[in-house]
Amino acid sequence: MQATQQEVAARAGMTQNTVSKMERADDVLLSSVVRYMRSVGGGVELILKTADGGARHVDLTPEISIPATSSRPPQI
């Protein structure tokens, strides 16, 4: 998907300057990456690796939600 920084910013609820900084940055907030990727039609998946060689995939797509009956965030 080809989009200008201004178009991405409008869909992500960010300024064009923020999008520009994100695209050049070495260290970006995860929440900003998720908003950016969702605005261009993508998603984010994390792979959390443990010292014992285990791994857990965490999909941060828009479909993820915490059930209304739960007051605790999901455990990772």
Residues 14-68: tens digit of each pLDDT? 999 999 999 999 999 988 899 888 888 889 999 999 999 999 999 887 554 434 4
8 Å CB contact between 59 and 43: yes
d(CA 13, CA 2): 18
Q: 61: left (phi > 0), else alpha (psi -120 to 50), else beta? A: beta
Output the pTM of the full model. Answer: 0.65
Q: Residue 63: its pLDDT value, please? A: 56
For residue 72, pLDDT beyond 60: no
